[in-house]
């Protein structure tokens, strides 16, 4: 079969002539022959496979620069890249879905303060019992973690480059413990996260020795039966509900991104040389993109916020056992920190625990 005209090739590949001309200009799908006098493009039928791949990838919404890279790979490597791209799309969609659900709820007039009031009248109000504990661990010389627990606020920050950044981040959130209306939880948390960033940036600019400081930040604020969550970095938040333990934050690390993209397994991540490298943080060279979420709290819930000094060495089963068996939050944080130290305590460890209770009037 001879060369195909651009019109025939467009019909066969399901790409428009306009798209083919664009892909030619970008070097993504150059024609097999261009007439030197008329500039008319002709294509080899063997190029149809690449053209169809380009069309499929465009339907996925993949950027042209990424498509060019995929087209140059072997089929197996290309499949890995497509899987990795779609994992990023799904993660982004999940975050947008949560925000959309909140906005629909808010804009539809289902005011959280009103629903909390109605719940309070019928069933009493929700409150929390809480405790926080931070320990240097068995190896480090200083504790760069910071934690806070109050009637409406729980927060954990794991600093790097010194304790100053984690303390500054926690201080920026403390005003939220005075109370936030349910309809303003996410905006209040976002504003507080930006204040934390400004505090850490000012700290880094104040002294050359502190220019690389930064911190993770994971915090919850309660308002009635709602809680707002802000998270950036690799500290974590969990909820124990109906006997099951669920992680409700997503690590912003290189290894977690590799897991999400299917490049490595959970087992391989445990020994990966870049397992401590953050993609997002407050300060430092990492991106500042905090996750925000709104959740409904229930009486009986038990929440844990912790630095990676716990989760790196204590298995999930051990965390679940402590949260389920300890009736007092103070006992829970002491036991969790003790477990980390018994496992070697290679890092600072901070735990904040809250038990959600119904307080009848």
| pLDDT at site 120 | 39
Phi, psi of 254 (to 5 degrees): -60, -45
How far apart (Å, rounded) are the C-alpha atoms in residues 29 and 338?
Answer: 61
Reported confidence tier of residue 228, pLDDT bands at 50, 70, 90: very high
- C-alpha distance from residue 342 to each of 45, 86, 331, 347 (Å): 66, 40, 16, 12
For the range 337-341, what are the long-range contacts, defined as Cβ-Cβ under 8 Å and sequence gap of 24 or more? 337/133, 337/134, 337/135, 337/310, 339/310, 339/314, 340/135, 340/137, 340/309, 340/310, 340/313, 340/314, 341/135, 341/137, 341/138
Q: Taking all residues of the chain, what is their mean pLDDT, rounded to a whole number?
A: 88
| pLDDT at site 34 | 92
Q: Beta strands 302-306 and 349-359: pairing type?
A: antiparallel
Q: Is 80 exposed, middle or buried (0-12, 13-18, 19+ CB in 10 A)?
A: middle
**CA Rg value for the chain:** 26
| pLDDT at site 103 | 67
| pLDDT at site 101 | 67
Reported confidence tier of residue 259, pLDDT bands at 50, 70, 90: confident
How far apart (Å, rounded) are the C-alpha atoms in residues 182 and 188?
Answer: 10
Q: Which of 3-12, 102-111, 349-358 has the highest mean pLDDT?
A: 349-358
Give pLDDT tens digits for 69-122: 898 899 988 988 898 888 878 777 776 776 676 667 666 654 433 333 333 333
Alpha helices, DSSP H only, in 214-291?
A: 254-260, 266-269
How far apart (Å, rounded) are the C-alpha atoms in residues 293 and 3?
Answer: 55
Q: Is 243 left (phi over 0), alpha (psi -120 to 50) or beta?
A: left
Least confident of 45-54, 95-104, 280-289, 313-322: 95-104
In sequence order, the 6+-apart residues with CB closer than 8 A to the CB of 287 are 279, 280, 281
Residue 297 pLDDT > 80, yes or no?
yes
Q: What does pTM read for this prediction?
A: 0.72
Query: Considering only CA atoms, which of 273, 180, 262 is closest in space to residue 219?
Result: 180
Give pLDDT tens digits for 140-181: 999 999 999 999 999 999 999 888 999 999 999 999 999 998
Which residue is it, tokens 């870049």? Answer: 274
DSSP 58-104: HHHT--HHHHHHHHTS-HHHHHHHHHHHHHHHHHHHHHHHHHHHHHH
Give pLDDT tens digits for 206-227: 999 899 999 999 999 999 888 9
Q: Beta strands 214-215 and 282-283: pairing type?
A: antiparallel
């Amino acid at each position: 079969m001879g060369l195909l005209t651009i019109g025939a090739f467009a019909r066969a590949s399901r790409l428009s002539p306009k798209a083919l001309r664009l892909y030619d200009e970008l070097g993504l799908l150059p024609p097999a022959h261009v007439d030197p006098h008329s500039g008319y493009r002709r294509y080899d039928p063997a190029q149809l496979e690449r053209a169809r791949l380009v069309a499929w990838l465009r339907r996925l919404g993949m950027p042209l620069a990424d498509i060019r890279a995929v087209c140059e790979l072997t089929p197996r490597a290309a499949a890995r890249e497509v899987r990795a791209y779609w994992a990023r799309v799904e993660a982004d969609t999940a975050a947008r879905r949560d925000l959309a659900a909140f906005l629909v709820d808010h804009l539809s007039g289902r005011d959280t303060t009103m629903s909390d009031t109605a719940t309070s009248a019928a069933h009493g109000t929700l409150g929390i019992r809480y405790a926080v504990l931070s320990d240097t661990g068995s190896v480090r010389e200083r504790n760069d973690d910071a934690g806070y627990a109050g009637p409406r606020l729980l927060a954990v920050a794991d600093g790097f480059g010194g304790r100053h950044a984690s303390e500054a981040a926690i201080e920026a959130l403390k005003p939220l413990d005075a109370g936030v209306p349910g309809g303003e939880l996410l905006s209040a948390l976002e504003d507080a996260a930006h204040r934390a960033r400004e505090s850490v940036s000012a700290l880094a600019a104040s002294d050359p020795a502190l220019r690389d400081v930064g911190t993770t930040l994971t915090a919850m604020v309660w308002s009635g039966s709602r809680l707002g969550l802000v998270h950036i970095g690799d500290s974590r938040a969990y909820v124990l509900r109906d006997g099951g333990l669920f992680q409700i934050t997503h690590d912003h690390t290189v290894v977690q991104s590799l897991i999400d993209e299917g490049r490595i397994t959970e087992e391989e991540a445990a020994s990966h040389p870049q397992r401590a490298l953050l993609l997002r943080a407050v300060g430092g060279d990492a991106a500042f993109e905090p996750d925000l979420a709104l959740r409904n709290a229930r009486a009986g819930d038990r929440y844990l916020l912790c630095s990676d000094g716990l989760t790196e060495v204590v298995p999930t089963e051990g965390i679940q056992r402590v949260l389920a068996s300890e009736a007092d939050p103070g006992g829970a944080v002491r036991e969790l920190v003790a477990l980390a130290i018994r496992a070697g305590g290679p890092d600072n460890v901070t735990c904040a625990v809250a038990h959600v209770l119904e307080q009848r009037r």
